[in-house]
Every structure is written in structure tokens, then in C-alpha cells.
């Protein structure tokens, strides 16, 4: 389930795995780095140096405008809509579009591969082995993403079961050839980091996984991934770019926040001067 291409990119080695090994410029360095990473990964597994944890749940849901209500849990999730002008016939998406108005379901998850990372890095740094310390963090990031990929597949095939007959190779999983998406709060389709609070509260994630949210809604340990599960066959990733004051005012009303608070959290996406 590991996608190695971003691993090489984090070391500024350009190319896709495994083709990068044949690259005239980066091939030799990439192969050496890959071998080092796998040797260290074997040690981590043998010693149990890093621990992975995960939690997920599926909830009854219904769409109300650009919100998604979870009636059993008395929660409302808030989403934004694209406002950039598109070509004729091209819709301006909101994630809420992928939930039916009457009765549907939505999932949530948190995974981490970060427990033990700091202690291992501290050990290597005390031995003046900065290379291995950096390598541990890069591997942990890949393991967290791999855990998210593994869990999403398990959800599709058994937990939720909407794609029970799925047969995909790892390359197909990396290429996202499956039904459904797992967008993360704070990323392009739902850029408001504050929505992580609702996600964590629903899952009791801090208790079940040991992942905590900082005041800025960053996840600790850093090698952690969280997000929503949408199963709609037409669900796809997209980006919110520029949003107008009209939507910010509506969003603030829906969230029960001041306009100024929303503007602070959504500052990179505003189409106007706040």
C-alpha cells in the first residue's frame, strides 16, 4: 500500500516509482535511498519502534444545502462551494453534492503511524545520525498514507461494503481507480481546518488513536491522516480556489462563527481584501 513516489519527491528526487530507478540523473541516488529506507523499515518492524493506530465509522447522513447533517449524532458538517467561473455546463462543486438529500451515509477516519517516531528520531540525533532521523520521518509519513489507503479499501469492501467485489492492484489504488473519495479537512476540497474538530469529536479520535489537534488544528503526531469517506460513484476530488464575501457570510452563519473568524481561517481562499 506504500506509494513511494512522494517519498522521493520529499528528497527532491524527481520521477515516479519505480521508473525513477532508470533515470539518468536521479536513478542511482533514488535506488540507494530506497534501499536505505527498506533496511530501516525492516528494523522498525522487527523492533516495533513505530506503532500505527486507526479508527473509522460510517454515519447516516443527509444533505441540507452545502451542509451535511448527521441526524443520529446531532452533528452538522459544513462545506464550501467553488465560485470560480467555469466553462459552460461545468458545475461548481461542493462535497455536499455527493450526499443525497433524503437518506445517505458518510464516513470518517483518523489514522496515524507516528507513535514512536519522536523517540526514534531523538535516538538517532543523539548518535549524530541526522540522515536516519530524517529518513524515519519520511518513512512514517509514507506509512500513515499507506495505512489510510489500506483502511479505505477495508471500508469499501467490508466495513461499508459498497464495493465488496473490488479487485485492484496497488498501482490502481495509488491511481485512485476505486469508487469514492477520502477528502481531508484543510485540503483543497474542504479547506477549513476547523472542521477537523467535528471529525475528531465524532470518532473520539484523541482517545482511540492518541492523535491530538493543536490550537491551529495540526495533528500530532505529524505522521497522521484524517478525512471523510464519500461513496457516491461520481464523487471526485476538486479544489476550492477563490470564494466571495457572500459565501463567507453564509458559511459563518452556518458554522455559528463570526465573519472575521471565518476570514482568518479561509484567508488564502478569499477573493477580496478582509
pLDDT band at 156 (very low <50, low <70, confident <90, very high): very high
Whether 248 is covered by a domain: the verdict is: no
Q: pLDDT tens digits for 16-33? A: 999 999 999 999 999 999
Q: What does the alpha-carbon distance between residue 186 and residue 162 come to, in Å, rounded to a whole number? A: 26
Residues 172 and 89 occupy one common structural domain: yes
- 128 falls within a domain: no
Q: What residues make up the domain containing 14?
A: 1-48
Q: Are residues 1 and 79 located together in one domain of the fold?
A: no
pLDDT at position 89? 84
What is the reported pLDDT for 87? 87
Asked whether residue 86 carries a pLDDT value surpassing 90, the answer given is no
User: Is 126 among the domain residues?
Assistant: no
Beta partners for residue 108, in sequence order: 57, 228
pLDDT digits (tens, 9 = 90+) for 210-266: 999 999 999 999 999 999 999 999 999 999 999 999 999 999 999 999 999 999 999
Determine, yes or no, domain membership for 122. no
CA distances from 178 to 104, 153, 155 (A): 19, 9, 12
Q: Tens digits of per-residue pLDDT, 54-63?
A: 999 999 999 9
Shared domain check, 150 and 32? no
Q: Same structural domain for residues 80 and 42?
A: no
Q: What is the CA radius of gyration of the chain?
A: 20
Q: Are residues 41 and 153 both part of a single domain?
A: no
Which helix (H) or strand (E) segment holds residue 205: the answer is helix 205-209
Contact (Cβ atoms closer than 8 angstroms) between residue 225 and residue 147: yes
Where does residue 65 fall: left (phi above 0), alpha (psi -120 to 50 degrees), or beta otherwise?
A: left
DSSP classification of residue 60: E
229 domain-assigned: yes
262 assigned to some structural domain: no
Instruction: Judge if 75 and 98 occupy the same domain.
Output: yes
Q: Are residue 198 and residue 86 in the same domain, yes or no?
A: yes
Question: Are 65 and 102 within one domain?
Answer: yes
Q: State percent of the chain over pLDDT 90.
A: 98
Mean pLDDT of 127-152: 98
CATH number for the domain that contains residue 5 = 1.10.288.10
In sequence order, the β-bridge partners of residue 106 are 59
**Mean pLDDT of the 139-161 span:** 98
Look at residue 255 and tell me if it is in a domain: no
Q: What is the structure's pLDDT at 103?
A: 94
Tell whether 195 and 208 lie within a shared domain: yes
Rounded CA-CA distance 180/154 in Å is 13
| CA separation for the pair 202, 197 (Å, rounded) | 9
Structure letter (DSSP) for residue 208: H
251 within a domain of the structure (yes/no): no
Residues 72 and 152 occupy one common structural domain: yes
How many domains does the chain divide into?
2
- What is the rounded average pLDDT for all residues in the chain? 97
Of the pLDDT bands very low, low, confident and very high (cuts 50, 70, 90), residue 85 is confident
Q: Do the beta carbons of residue 255 and residue 78 sit within 8 Å?
A: yes
Q: What pLDDT was estimated at residue 13?
A: 97
Residues 75 and 6 in one domain: no
Task: Determine the pLDDT at residue 223.
Answer: 98
Asked whether the predicted pLDDT for residue 88 surpasses 90, the reply is no
Do residue 31 and residue 144 come from a single domain?
no
Amino acid at each position: 500500500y506504500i506509494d513511494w513516489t512522494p517519498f522521493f519527491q520529499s528528497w527532491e528526487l524527481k520521477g515516479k516509482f519505480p521508473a525513477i530507478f532508470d533515470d539518468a540523473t536521479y536513478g542511482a541516488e533514488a535506488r540507494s535511498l530506497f534501499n536505505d529506507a527498506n533496511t530501516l523499515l525492516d528494523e522498525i518492524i522487527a523492533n516495533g519502534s513505530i506503532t500505527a493506530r486507526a479508527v473509522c465509522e460510517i454515519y447516516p447522513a443527509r444533505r441540507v444545502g452545502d451542509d451535511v447533517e448527521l441526524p443520529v449524532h446531532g452533528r452538522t458538517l459544513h462545506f464550501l462551494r467553488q465560485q470560480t467561473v467555469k466553462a459552460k455546463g461545468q458545475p461548481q462543486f461542493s462535497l455536499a453534492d455527493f450526499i443525497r438529500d433524503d437518506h445517505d451515509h458518510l464516513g470518517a477516519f483518523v489514522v496515524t503511524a507516528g507513535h514512536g517516531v519522536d523517540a526514534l528520531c531523538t535516538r538517532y540525533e543523539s548518535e549524530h545520525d541526522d540522515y536516519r532521523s530524517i529518513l524515519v520521518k519520511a518513512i512514517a509519513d509514507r506509512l500513515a498514507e499507506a495505512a489510510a489507503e489500506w483502511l479505505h479499501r477495508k471500508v469499501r469492501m467490508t466495513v461499508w461494503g459498497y464495493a465488496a467485489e473490488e479487485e485492484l492492484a496497488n498501482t490502481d489504488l495509488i491511481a485512485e481507480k476505486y469508487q469514492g473519495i477520502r477528502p481531508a479537512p484543510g485540503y483543497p476540497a474542504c479547506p477549513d481546518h476547523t472542521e477537523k474538530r467535528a471529525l475528531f469529536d465524532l470518532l473520539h479520535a484523541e482517545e482511540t488513536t492518541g492523535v491530538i489537534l493543536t490550537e491551529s488544528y495540526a495533528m500530532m503526531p505529524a505522521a497522521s491522516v484524517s478525512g471523510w469517506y464519500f461513496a457516491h460513484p461520481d464523487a471526485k476530488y476538486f479544489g476550492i480556489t477563490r470564494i466571495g464575501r457572500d459565501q463567507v457570510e453564509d458559511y459563518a452563519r452556518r458554522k455559528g462563527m463570526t465573519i472575521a473568524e471565518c476570514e482568518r481561517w479561509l484567508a488564502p481562499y478569499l477573493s477580496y481584501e478582509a
